[in-house]
Structure 1
Amino acid sequence: MEKNRILVVEDEESLLKLESILFTSKGYQVTGVRGGNDALKAIAQDAPDLVVLDLMLPDMDGFEVCRNIKENPATSAIPVVMLTAKKSSRDLEHGRQVGADAYITKPFKSVKVLEVIEGLLGNNSAAGGDAV
């Protein structure tokens, strides 16, 4: 079974590594980028199955990245999980408005993030095995 591909967009190197290790340990193929423009380029070159997106990025905020993904007919079906330190109800609502499929605040619990991702990708095996 082909593994799902996740694009992690996170400007903080330690979190990018942590998230990459978490997802690869569950069998996902992970690509990491540190900015919004790099994320859009990576998606255009080889669209992932899901995007995990920080909001506070150096060149373009995550809301704008998500809006770009969701407004493009070629990429609009890609699930976007916002993973951010921004916790206000205004930020959550903004995330919904630009089309985010899920919004998780930092610090996050790995189990919660994996449950959300597996749910969006249709993988029913939370234990990490292949879905049947």
Structure 2
Amino acid sequence: MRVSMGGYKVRLAAGQNELRTELGAGRLPDILLLDIRLPDGDGFEILAALRRHPKLALLPVVMLTAVTGKENVRRGLELGADGYITKPYSKKIVVETIRAVLKHA
């Protein structure tokens, strides 16, 4: 599924399997917004796997999740997330975070 947010084209993957399909389909996205709680996987494990993958290790990743708490934020950042946004969030915060991360990528 493709949508638009803040002038960015967005591809959606509803879970780990769809994400694998999207990432394996060719052109990589400029940034990945990753939830921790996926119906078929754990976002922390996916992030760790991305950081170990030679072609995906430098892909900017922002965690966008309902999972709060200092330990979870710390874990995401230690695993290599470039940002961590908790729900509820505003579209403005998401777009500003995307811009900031891409500016430094």
Could you say which TM-score interval applies, normalised by the shorter chain?
A: 0.7 to 0.9
Question: Are 1:122 and 2:103 matched, yes or no?
Answer: yes
In structure 2, the partner of 1:86 is: 67
In structure 1, the partner of 2:35 is: 54
* Gap change, CA 1:74 and 1:98, over 3 Å in 2: same
Q: SS in structure 1 opposite 2:33?
A: strand
Question: Which sections of structure 2, spanning at least 5 residues, go unmatched?
Answer: none
Question: Are 1:64 and 2:45 matched, yes or no?
Answer: yes
The runs of at least 4 aligned residues of structure 1 exceeding 4 Å deviation read none
**1-structure distance, mates of 2:70, 2:57:** 24
In structure 2, the partner of 1:28 is: 8
Identical positions, percent:
36
**2-structure distance, mates of 1:25, 1:38:** 20
Conserved 8 A contact 2:5-2:95: no
How far did residue 71 of structure 1 move?
Answer: 1.1
CA distances 1:45-79 after superposition (whole Å, capped 9, x unpaired): 23111001111001111111111111112011110
**2-structure distance, mates of 1:97, 1:25:** 28
TM-score (normalizing by structure 2): 0.87
Hey, which of these two has a bigger chunk of strand by percent? 2
Which has the larger Rg?
1
**How many residues end up aligned between the 2 structures?**
103
Conserved 8 A contact 1:40-1:65: no
**1-structure distance, mates of 2:84, 2:9:** 21
Conserved 8 A contact 1:53-1:81: yes
**2-structure distance, mates of 1:106, 1:25:** 17
CA distances 1:4-50 after superposition (whole Å, capped 9, x unpaired): xxxxxxxxxxxxx9xx65xx142212111110122123112231110
Across the aligned residues of Structure 1 and Structure 2, the Cα RMSD in angstroms comes to: 1.9
